[in-house]
Structure 1
Amino acid sequence: MRRWRRSGPSLTAKPQALLALLLLKPDVVANRDWLVDQLWGDAPPAAAVATLRTYAYQLRRRLAADDRIALHGKGGGYLLQIPPDALDSARFEALTAVRRLDDQVAQATLSRLLAGSWIELGRRDEAQVFLERAMAHSRAAGDRTGEAHAHYMTGRLLRMQGRLSASARR
Protein backbone atom coordinates (compact mmCIF):
# COMPACT_ATOMS: atom_id res chain seq x y z
CA MET A 1 0.00 0.00 0.00
CA ARG A 2 2.83 2.44 0.71
CA ARG A 3 3.95 2.20 -2.89
CA TRP A 4 0.56 3.32 -4.19
CA ARG A 5 -0.03 5.95 -1.54
CA ARG A 6 2.80 7.98 -3.01
CA SER A 7 1.24 7.95 -6.47
CA GLY A 8 -1.92 9.84 -5.60
CA PRO A 9 -4.61 10.35 -2.98
CA SER A 10 -4.97 7.42 -0.63
CA LEU A 11 -7.72 4.88 -1.15
CA THR A 12 -10.68 4.92 1.18
CA ALA A 13 -11.27 2.03 3.58
CA LYS A 14 -13.42 -0.19 1.31
CA PRO A 15 -11.11 -0.14 -1.73
CA GLN A 16 -8.21 -0.85 0.65
CA ALA A 17 -10.20 -3.74 2.09
CA LEU A 18 -10.92 -5.01 -1.44
CA LEU A 19 -7.20 -4.91 -2.22
CA ALA A 20 -6.43 -6.79 1.00
CA LEU A 21 -9.02 -9.45 0.14
CA LEU A 22 -7.60 -9.88 -3.36
CA LEU A 23 -4.06 -10.11 -1.96
CA LEU A 24 -5.20 -13.03 0.20
CA LYS A 25 -5.75 -14.99 -3.02
CA PRO A 26 -3.34 -13.64 -5.65
CA ASP A 27 -3.79 -15.12 -9.12
CA VAL A 28 -7.07 -16.75 -8.07
CA VAL A 29 -10.53 -15.48 -9.04
CA ALA A 30 -12.24 -14.08 -5.94
CA ASN A 31 -15.97 -14.61 -6.33
CA ARG A 32 -18.02 -11.39 -6.46
CA ASP A 33 -20.55 -12.68 -3.89
CA TRP A 34 -17.74 -13.60 -1.50
CA LEU A 35 -16.21 -10.14 -1.91
CA VAL A 36 -19.56 -8.45 -1.25
CA ASP A 37 -20.04 -10.61 1.84
CA GLN A 38 -16.54 -9.79 3.11
CA LEU A 39 -16.87 -6.06 2.48
CA TRP A 40 -20.38 -5.52 3.88
CA GLY A 41 -21.28 -8.63 5.86
CA ASP A 42 -24.97 -9.35 6.31
CA ALA A 43 -26.10 -5.86 5.31
CA PRO A 44 -24.76 -5.03 1.83
CA PRO A 45 -26.11 -1.89 0.20
CA ALA A 46 -28.63 -2.32 -2.60
CA ALA A 47 -26.00 -1.25 -5.13
CA ALA A 48 -23.22 -3.47 -3.67
CA VAL A 49 -22.23 -5.02 -7.00
CA ALA A 50 -22.07 -1.61 -8.73
CA THR A 51 -20.09 -0.19 -5.79
CA LEU A 52 -17.74 -3.17 -5.94
CA ARG A 53 -17.17 -2.40 -9.64
CA THR A 54 -16.35 1.20 -8.71
CA TYR A 55 -13.84 0.05 -6.10
CA ALA A 56 -12.27 -2.31 -8.65
CA TYR A 57 -12.02 0.59 -11.11
CA GLN A 58 -10.29 2.74 -8.47
CA LEU A 59 -7.86 -0.08 -7.75
CA ARG A 60 -7.14 -0.60 -11.45
CA ARG A 61 -6.28 3.07 -11.82
CA ARG A 62 -3.99 2.95 -8.82
CA LEU A 63 -2.36 -0.33 -9.85
CA ALA A 64 -1.72 0.95 -13.39
CA ALA A 65 1.46 2.60 -12.06
CA ASP A 66 3.04 -0.87 -11.88
CA ASP A 67 2.77 -2.76 -15.16
CA ARG A 68 3.53 -6.08 -13.42
CA ILE A 69 0.25 -5.93 -11.47
CA ALA A 70 -3.22 -6.09 -13.00
CA LEU A 71 -6.79 -6.47 -11.77
CA HIS A 72 -9.18 -8.31 -14.10
CA GLY A 73 -12.89 -9.00 -13.92
CA LYS A 74 -13.27 -12.74 -14.56
CA GLY A 75 -16.09 -15.25 -14.28
CA GLY A 76 -18.26 -13.42 -11.77
CA GLY A 77 -15.34 -12.16 -9.70
CA TYR A 78 -11.98 -10.44 -9.75
CA LEU A 79 -8.47 -11.73 -10.33
CA LEU A 80 -5.44 -9.85 -9.06
CA GLN A 81 -2.37 -10.79 -11.10
CA ILE A 82 0.72 -10.01 -9.13
CA PRO A 83 4.21 -11.50 -9.36
CA PRO A 84 5.25 -13.41 -6.23
CA ASP A 85 8.25 -11.16 -5.65
CA ALA A 86 5.91 -8.18 -5.26
CA LEU A 87 4.31 -9.70 -2.15
CA ASP A 88 6.00 -9.37 1.21
CA SER A 89 4.42 -12.66 2.27
CA ALA A 90 5.99 -14.48 -0.71
CA ARG A 91 9.37 -12.91 0.03
CA PHE A 92 9.03 -13.92 3.68
CA GLU A 93 8.20 -17.51 2.71
CA ALA A 94 11.17 -17.63 0.33
CA LEU A 95 13.55 -16.23 2.93
CA THR A 96 12.20 -18.67 5.52
CA ALA A 97 12.80 -21.57 3.12
CA VAL A 98 16.36 -20.35 2.50
CA ARG A 99 16.89 -20.02 6.25
CA ARG A 100 15.68 -23.60 6.79
CA LEU A 101 18.14 -24.79 4.13
CA ASP A 102 20.91 -22.68 5.68
CA ASP A 103 20.10 -24.23 9.07
CA GLN A 104 20.26 -27.72 7.55
CA VAL A 105 23.60 -26.98 5.89
CA ALA A 106 24.95 -25.47 9.13
CA GLN A 107 23.78 -28.48 11.12
CA ALA A 108 25.36 -30.86 8.59
CA THR A 109 28.66 -28.95 8.70
CA LEU A 110 28.70 -28.89 12.49
CA SER A 111 27.87 -32.60 12.64
CA ARG A 112 30.70 -33.42 10.20
CA LEU A 113 33.14 -31.36 12.27
CA LEU A 114 32.09 -33.08 15.47
CA ALA A 115 32.27 -36.49 13.80
CA GLY A 116 35.81 -35.67 12.64
CA SER A 117 36.78 -34.78 16.20
CA TRP A 118 35.35 -38.05 17.51
CA ILE A 119 37.16 -40.00 14.76
CA GLU A 120 40.44 -38.36 15.75
CA LEU A 121 39.81 -39.34 19.36
CA GLY A 122 39.04 -42.90 18.31
CA ARG A 123 35.43 -42.69 19.58
CA ARG A 124 33.62 -44.71 16.90
CA ASP A 125 30.11 -44.69 18.38
CA GLU A 126 30.00 -40.92 18.87
CA ALA A 127 31.49 -40.34 15.42
CA GLN A 128 28.86 -42.60 13.85
CA VAL A 129 26.01 -40.66 15.52
CA PHE A 130 27.29 -37.35 14.15
CA LEU A 131 27.95 -38.77 10.70
CA GLU A 132 24.36 -40.02 10.53
CA ARG A 133 23.17 -36.55 11.54
CA ALA A 134 25.41 -34.95 8.93
CA MET A 135 23.99 -37.24 6.24
CA ALA A 136 20.39 -36.49 7.24
CA HIS A 137 20.92 -32.72 7.34
CA SER A 138 22.81 -32.75 4.03
CA ARG A 139 20.02 -34.74 2.36
CA ALA A 140 17.37 -32.41 3.78
CA ALA A 141 19.24 -29.39 2.40
CA GLY A 142 19.94 -31.05 -0.96
CA ASP A 143 23.65 -30.54 -0.23
CA ARG A 144 25.30 -33.24 -2.32
CA THR A 145 28.79 -32.01 -1.49
CA GLY A 146 28.07 -32.23 2.23
CA GLU A 147 26.54 -35.66 1.75
CA ALA A 148 29.61 -36.84 -0.21
CA HIS A 149 31.89 -35.52 2.52
CA ALA A 150 29.89 -37.39 5.16
CA HIS A 151 30.22 -40.58 3.03
CA TYR A 152 33.98 -40.02 2.85
CA MET A 153 34.14 -39.59 6.62
CA THR A 154 32.07 -42.74 7.08
CA GLY A 155 34.71 -44.56 5.04
CA ARG A 156 37.39 -43.08 7.31
CA LEU A 157 35.46 -44.33 10.31
CA LEU A 158 35.10 -47.82 8.81
CA ARG A 159 38.84 -47.94 8.04
CA MET A 160 39.55 -46.89 11.61
CA GLN A 161 37.22 -49.59 12.91
CA GLY A 162 39.00 -52.14 10.69
CA ARG A 163 42.40 -51.08 12.04
CA LEU A 164 41.13 -51.25 15.63
CA SER A 165 39.63 -54.70 15.05
CA ALA A 166 42.88 -55.93 13.47
CA SER A 167 45.00 -54.61 16.33
CA ALA A 168 42.61 -56.14 18.89
CA ARG A 169 43.06 -59.57 17.27
CA ARG A 170 46.85 -59.41 17.57
Structure 2
Amino acid sequence: MKLIILDRDGVINQDSDAYIKSLAEWIPIPGSIEAIARLSKAGWTVAVATNQSGLARGYYDLATLEAMHARLRQLVAEQGGELGLIVHCPHGPNDGCDCRKPKPGMLRQIASHYGIDLAGVWFVGDSSGDLDAALAVDCQPVLVRTGKGERTLGKPLPANLLVFDDLAAVANHLIEED
Protein backbone atom coordinates (compact mmCIF):
# COMPACT_ATOMS: atom_id res chain seq x y z
CA MET A 1 0.00 0.00 0.00
CA LYS A 2 1.24 3.46 -0.94
CA LEU A 3 0.09 5.71 1.92
CA ILE A 4 0.60 9.43 2.37
CA ILE A 5 -0.67 11.33 5.42
CA LEU A 6 -1.53 15.02 5.29
CA ASP A 7 -2.09 17.69 7.87
CA ARG A 8 -5.21 19.71 6.97
CA ASP A 9 -5.03 23.41 7.84
CA GLY A 10 -2.18 25.06 5.93
CA VAL A 11 -1.62 22.02 3.70
CA ILE A 12 -5.03 21.29 2.13
CA ASN A 13 -6.91 24.46 3.05
CA GLN A 14 -5.98 27.96 4.07
CA ASP A 15 -5.08 28.31 7.74
CA SER A 16 -6.01 31.06 10.16
CA ASP A 17 -4.63 32.00 13.57
CA ALA A 18 -8.30 32.70 14.41
CA TYR A 19 -9.20 29.06 13.50
CA ILE A 20 -11.29 27.72 10.65
CA LYS A 21 -14.70 27.86 12.36
CA SER A 22 -17.23 27.41 9.57
CA LEU A 23 -17.71 25.80 6.20
CA ALA A 24 -17.48 29.29 4.63
CA GLU A 25 -14.02 29.77 6.20
CA TRP A 26 -12.80 26.41 4.88
CA ILE A 27 -11.10 27.45 1.64
CA PRO A 28 -8.87 25.02 -0.28
CA ILE A 29 -5.34 26.13 -1.17
CA PRO A 30 -5.15 26.36 -4.98
CA GLY A 31 -4.09 23.01 -6.43
CA SER A 32 -4.53 21.00 -3.22
CA ILE A 33 -7.79 19.25 -4.10
CA GLU A 34 -6.44 18.32 -7.53
CA ALA A 35 -3.23 17.05 -5.90
CA ILE A 36 -5.16 14.71 -3.60
CA ALA A 37 -7.25 13.44 -6.53
CA ARG A 38 -4.15 12.90 -8.69
CA LEU A 39 -2.42 10.96 -5.90
CA SER A 40 -5.54 8.85 -5.41
CA LYS A 41 -5.83 8.10 -9.11
CA ALA A 42 -2.11 7.15 -9.16
CA GLY A 43 -2.75 4.46 -6.53
CA TRP A 44 -1.97 6.36 -3.34
CA THR A 45 -4.12 6.16 -0.24
CA VAL A 46 -4.39 9.70 1.14
CA ALA A 47 -5.20 10.05 4.85
CA VAL A 48 -5.52 13.20 6.97
CA ALA A 49 -4.45 13.86 10.58
CA THR A 50 -5.59 17.23 11.91
CA ASN A 51 -5.51 18.99 15.28
CA GLN A 52 -8.90 20.62 15.84
CA SER A 53 -8.64 22.26 19.26
CA GLY A 54 -11.36 24.70 18.14
CA LEU A 55 -13.76 21.93 19.21
CA ALA A 56 -12.43 21.98 22.79
CA ARG A 57 -12.40 25.78 22.75
CA GLY A 58 -16.07 25.87 21.67
CA TYR A 59 -15.38 27.78 18.43
CA TYR A 60 -17.35 25.24 16.36
CA ASP A 61 -19.04 21.89 16.87
CA LEU A 62 -18.48 18.39 15.52
CA ALA A 63 -21.24 18.80 12.91
CA THR A 64 -19.40 21.81 11.48
CA LEU A 65 -16.12 19.88 11.35
CA GLU A 66 -17.86 16.96 9.66
CA ALA A 67 -19.39 19.35 7.11
CA MET A 68 -15.89 20.65 6.26
CA HIS A 69 -14.64 17.10 5.79
CA ALA A 70 -17.69 16.13 3.72
CA ARG A 71 -16.98 19.13 1.48
CA LEU A 72 -13.32 18.07 1.18
CA ARG A 73 -14.35 14.52 0.19
CA GLN A 74 -16.90 15.89 -2.30
CA LEU A 75 -14.36 18.18 -3.98
CA VAL A 76 -11.82 15.35 -4.27
CA ALA A 77 -14.50 13.02 -5.70
CA GLU A 78 -15.48 15.67 -8.26
CA GLN A 79 -11.86 15.51 -9.48
CA GLY A 80 -12.08 11.72 -9.79
CA GLY A 81 -10.20 10.90 -6.60
CA GLU A 82 -10.94 9.41 -3.23
CA LEU A 83 -9.84 10.56 0.22
CA GLY A 84 -9.06 7.91 2.81
CA LEU A 85 -9.34 8.08 6.59
CA ILE A 86 -9.60 11.49 8.24
CA VAL A 87 -8.72 11.58 11.95
CA HIS A 88 -8.85 14.61 14.18
CA CYS A 89 -7.79 15.51 17.70
CA PRO A 90 -10.62 17.41 19.41
CA HIS A 91 -8.55 18.28 22.49
CA GLY A 92 -7.02 21.53 23.66
CA PRO A 93 -3.26 21.94 24.12
CA ASN A 94 -3.45 21.32 27.89
CA ASP A 95 -5.74 18.27 27.83
CA GLY A 96 -2.89 15.77 28.07
CA CYS A 97 -4.09 13.52 25.23
CA ASP A 98 -1.78 11.39 23.10
CA CYS A 99 -3.43 12.35 19.81
CA ARG A 100 -2.66 16.08 19.57
CA LYS A 101 0.35 16.71 17.37
CA PRO A 102 3.28 16.83 18.11
CA LYS A 103 2.23 13.56 19.81
CA PRO A 104 1.86 10.76 17.23
CA GLY A 105 -1.47 9.25 18.36
CA MET A 106 -3.38 10.18 15.20
CA LEU A 107 -0.64 8.76 12.99
CA ARG A 108 -0.74 5.51 14.98
CA GLN A 109 -4.54 5.45 14.57
CA ILE A 110 -4.12 5.71 10.78
CA ALA A 111 -1.47 2.94 10.81
CA SER A 112 -3.76 0.71 12.83
CA HIS A 113 -6.72 1.40 10.52
CA TYR A 114 -4.72 0.39 7.45
CA GLY A 115 -2.68 -2.32 9.20
CA ILE A 116 0.67 -0.91 8.13
CA ASP A 117 4.00 0.16 9.57
CA LEU A 118 4.61 3.91 9.35
CA ALA A 119 8.37 3.70 8.72
CA GLY A 120 9.10 5.85 5.68
CA VAL A 121 5.47 6.90 5.11
CA TRP A 122 5.36 10.54 4.05
CA PHE A 123 3.65 12.90 6.49
CA VAL A 124 3.09 16.32 4.95
CA GLY A 125 2.65 19.27 7.29
CA ASP A 126 3.34 22.95 7.69
CA SER A 127 4.39 23.17 11.37
CA SER A 128 7.04 21.94 13.78
CA GLY A 129 4.35 19.89 15.55
CA ASP A 130 3.64 18.03 12.32
CA LEU A 131 7.34 17.31 11.80
CA ASP A 132 7.78 16.14 15.41
CA ALA A 133 4.78 13.79 15.12
CA ALA A 134 6.24 12.35 11.90
CA LEU A 135 9.63 11.74 13.50
CA ALA A 136 8.07 10.09 16.58
CA VAL A 137 6.76 7.20 14.43
CA ASP A 138 9.57 7.10 11.84
CA CYS A 139 7.51 8.76 9.09
CA GLN A 140 9.32 10.77 6.44
CA PRO A 141 8.76 14.42 7.47
CA VAL A 142 7.69 16.66 4.58
CA LEU A 143 7.18 20.41 4.94
CA VAL A 144 5.14 22.56 2.57
CA ARG A 145 5.73 26.31 2.39
CA THR A 146 1.98 27.03 2.52
CA GLY A 147 0.19 27.77 5.80
CA LYS A 148 2.79 28.14 8.57
CA GLY A 149 5.47 26.49 6.41
CA GLU A 150 7.57 29.59 5.73
CA ARG A 151 7.57 30.40 9.47
CA THR A 152 8.53 26.81 10.27
CA LEU A 153 11.56 27.02 7.95
CA GLY A 154 13.05 29.53 10.41
CA LYS A 155 13.09 26.94 13.21
CA PRO A 156 15.40 23.97 13.86
CA LEU A 157 14.52 21.29 11.30
CA PRO A 158 15.14 17.54 11.05
CA ALA A 159 18.10 16.51 8.90
CA ASN A 160 15.95 14.23 6.71
CA LEU A 161 13.29 16.88 6.02
CA LEU A 162 11.93 17.26 2.49
CA VAL A 163 10.56 20.71 1.55
CA PHE A 164 8.08 21.52 -1.25
CA ASP A 165 6.28 24.71 -2.27
CA ASP A 166 2.83 23.17 -1.79
CA LEU A 167 0.82 19.94 -1.89
CA ALA A 168 0.66 20.05 -5.69
CA ALA A 169 4.49 19.94 -5.81
CA VAL A 170 4.47 16.95 -3.42
CA ALA A 171 1.99 15.13 -5.68
CA ASN A 172 4.06 15.94 -8.79
CA HIS A 173 7.18 14.53 -7.15
CA LEU A 174 5.56 11.30 -5.94
CA ILE A 175 3.73 10.62 -9.20
CA GLU A 176 6.91 11.24 -11.23
CA GLU A 177 8.87 8.90 -8.89
CA ASP A 178 6.40 6.08 -9.57
Shorter-chain TM range is under 0.3
When the two structures are superposed, what TM-score results if normalisation uses the length of structure 1? 0.25
Query: Is the helix fraction higher in 1 or 2?
Result: 1
Structure with the larger RCO, 1 or 2 (CA within 8 Å, 6+ apart): 2
When the two structures are superposed, what TM-score results if normalisation uses the length of structure 2? 0.24
Query: Is the strand fraction higher in 1 or 2?
Result: 2
